[in-house]
Chains A and B, each alone.
Chain A
Amino acid sequence: QVQLVQSGAEVKKPGASVKISCKASGYSFEKYGMNWVRQAPGQSLEWMGWIHPGNGNTYYSEKLQGRVTIASDTSATTVSMEVSSLTFEDTAVYYCARLWGSLYFDSWGQGTLVTVSP
């Protein structure tokens, strides 16, 4: 079965960067895109961007373009996501989500809490 296992919680200071990973198993890794979605405390889901591991193409939300970098390692079946220049507003749970049919988020990781604190 599809499994997405994310790295553990992080605490960072404002201005720092954070890198989160998502280890995929149970399917053909290169055939499906991987998205990152975040959820600030008590807030809605926010789509951040995605990568197609098969060709390395990346796509980002306009709001986060330039501050977010998504990469994949096909040998490790792992996708990573780095956010730079962190502010308090980046405090959130970050989820990876597989892109099924190039259109839908059918499997999700367990989430990684990133706390930005002075």
Chain B
Amino acid sequence: QSALTQPPSASGSPGQSVTISCTGTNSDVGAYDYVSWYQQHPGKAPKFIIYGVNKRPSGVPDRFSGSKSGNTASLTVSGLQAEDEADYYCSSYGGKNIFVFGTGTRVTVL
């Protein structure tokens, strides 16, 4: 199972939006609506922010949203804030109880 492909970096000014892509195959992202996203600040454990492509766990601001088209999922962070500066990882179910993560994207708030 190969890692899902994400851009290494993305950036935006406070208040702007940034969108991160996550490209897999028709065996993972394209096959299931079971994509999730995680936010990780330096030296910290990842935090669960999106599941089922576009659903937010309780307590996650609605500035975070997700979507999917074909083999590519996306995470959009709207109204960027300084605290959104972090690494973001997508994940997908790959069938047969197997999971795969993305390569990660560092978001910088300019």
Binding site for B on A (CB under 8 A): 35, 37, 44-47, 50, 59, 61-62, 95, 97, 100-101, 103-111
Contacts and interface: CB of A to CB of B under 8 A. Distances in A.
Contact of A44 (B34, B52, B103): B103
B98 to A, nearest CB: 7
Interface residues of B, number: 25
Interface string B50-62: 0110000100000
Main SS at interface, chain A: strand
A105 B48 contact: yes
A45 B51 contact: no
Contact of B91 (A50, A59, A105, A108): A105
A97 B104 CA distance: 18
Given A44-B89, A59-B97, A105 B38 contact: yes
A5 B97 CA distance: 24
B104 A44 contact: yes
